[in-house]
Structure 1
Amino acid sequence: MEITTNFLGHQMKSNPPKYSGEKERERRRIIHQLVQQLLDFDYRTVSDNKTLLHLSLIPYHKDRWLGHIGIVTTFPSLPVVKFLLSCRASINAIDNDHYTSLHDFVLNDYKHFPHLQ
C-alpha cells in the first residue's frame, strides 16, 4: 500500500509530463482506471486496516525506506489526495481505530498543509 501511494505521488509530480498530447492523456487515463480498480477492491494495510486515502494523509517522509525502495514523495500529499478522490476513494472507510482518513488528517494537525492553518 505504501508503495502504491509512493507511486501515485511520483506520478502526480511528473513535471514536465512524461509524454506529450494524446499519449500523456492516455497514460493518465490508464493510471486513473487502474487506481479506480484498486479502490474498488478496497485493499487495506494488514496491520491497521488503512486505505490508500488514509495513507495519503499520514506523514511519511523521503528518508523512510521500504525494503529496497525509498520513499520519493513526502506525505501527506494534496495532489495524491485529490487524485484518489477523483477516483472515488471512500471518505467514510474506517481503520482498526474506527478513524476515517479525515480523522487521521485532523489528528496530525494538518501541519503539512500550511495554507489550511
Structure 2
Amino acid sequence: MQRLLVVDDDADLRETLAHRLSHEGFVVEVARDGAEALAKLASGRSPTAIVLDLGMPTMSGWQFRDLQKRNPALAEIPVVVMTGEAPLGIDVQHVLQKPFAIDHLVETIRRITVRS
C-alpha cells in the first residue's frame, strides 16, 4: 500500500485530502507545516510521495523542499506541490494550481509513484 504525507496549514483542506486519498487506497499521514513534516519523516517511515503546500507558517514548503533535497535519505521521495500561486523554479515532480480536482491529484500521485 502506498503511503502519502500531506503537508498543508489549512486544517480543513488537509483533513479533506487525507479522507479522500484514504478512500482511494492510500495510507495518509498529515502535517501542518514543513517542520512537522520533517519530524514525521525523521521517524523512519518514508512515504511513497509527499503532497506539499508552499505557503505555510513556521516552515514553508519552499524551506521544507530545500531541506528535503539536502537529506540523501529523503531527497528521492517524489513531491507534488499544491499552490495558489505559480511557483517559479521549484524542483518537484508536479505542480497543481489550487483549486484542483481530487481526481487530478490522485492521477498525478499514481503517475509519479509508478516511476519511483
Shared fold per TM-score greater than 0.5: no
Higher strand residue share: 2
TM-score normalised to the size of structure 2? 0.25
Higher helix residue share: 1
Relative CO higher for 1 or 2, CA cutoff 8 Å, sep ≥ 6? Answer: 1
